[in-house]
Chains A and B, each alone.
Chain A
Amino acid sequence: MLSISNLSKSFGGVVATNNVTLEFPEGSLSSIIGPNGAGKTTLFNLITGKLKVDSGKVKLEDEDITNLSTRNIVLKGISRAFQISNIFPSLTVKESLMSSLMSKNNQAEKLFIPFHSKALEEEAEELLEILEMKSLSNVICSNISHGDQKVLDIGLALSLDPKILMLDEPTAGMGPEERWKMVETIERLWKLKKLTLIFIEHDMDIVFKISQRIHVLRYGSLLASGSPQEIKNNEEVINAYLGEDFEAV
């Protein structure tokens, strides 16, 4: 589905992504882990067009999408949510989703079409149902809880009807209970929408519980790739990141 080959990016003298080659099969749920500064978010930024690639290729279903504009990559079917929830503070939850749906329908530049149309509202309500956020529909986004903002952030990405959904630390800043609720939501959406899902995560319990494949980055390079079992037993990963006494669930 999505494959990246020999991807590199450096900032001045610092190599943030070093010759990374990865494959994300259709319908898979993969995670990317690694210590701080390993280049996880940079990798996301390279794939989604926020940063320009120095060398290497990003391919979506055999089509070269390297260095396309953010908008074009979105149109091809890759959308993402952010590490720090990235929403629209002055709009209501429903309006935010309506806005992204409007953009998906390629209606965002219509000067004389009223925004509050029945069709768009119904589409947004469907999405609210899926996200289990119906009760928050008319609340201004800046007033909802951190956890709900993260769900909304994912909802915005999901509303674009992506083939590939990329989540950057979906449980960052959440308490333990909220985290597992979020994990449930993510798994549910993944199955429901038959997505290819890639996420960055620091909570190893979550990573080892839900990932089909795990990719470990260190200093911008790929350290290891494999099933949770393989990664758990990989000496190098244990030494570099997980630590001697790591016991995954």
Chain B
Amino acid sequence: MATIQVTGESEQHPDVALVASAVAGDVQAFEKLIRKYDRQIFRIAQHITQNREDAEDVVQDAFLKAYEKLSQFQGNSKFYTWLVRIAVNESLMRLRKRRTGKMVSIDEDIETDEGSVPRDLADWSPNPEQNYTQTELAKILRKTIQGLPQGFRVVFVLRDVDGLSTEETAEMLGLSVPAVKSRLLRARLQLRERLSRYFRSKKAGEK
């Protein structure tokens, strides 16, 4: 059974004090929380909505909603976990609006067949990213991850880019731990296979 780690009173997470001050009316304490997490929230929102304007709106709306509900925040989960959960819901709502009411969920586009066995088994050249400029590389990485189903993309970003645990990711997305694990494996393998188009080492005579 997965559990969320609860820090003891002696090693209280610094966010707990900031949240308490913000609840007591200290707006500057809340500003510190915004500065700490706005970039991560923007990144997650951008990966879900794939739209810059929507992602900026999500940052604003997620923090406002968090502030509104701050007194309801249960200290037994991390503030950031709670905030991401709000941001994921706000992002899905934005997507829904763009698609004029069509249902949107984190399960969208998930294929149920187990088609994750790697096909392209060519090795990559050493440090393949060095063959591209920073701008080219970012473009390749964006294009590649955008091709992934949304539910895989978000799990990959939370687990591998943000470095959150499987349990935290599951809590943020309202998924089971096995579902997060299965999506992470398939996300990693699919990204790897897609990146191989750019990063595989070229053999002599290969076009």
Are both chains from one complex? no
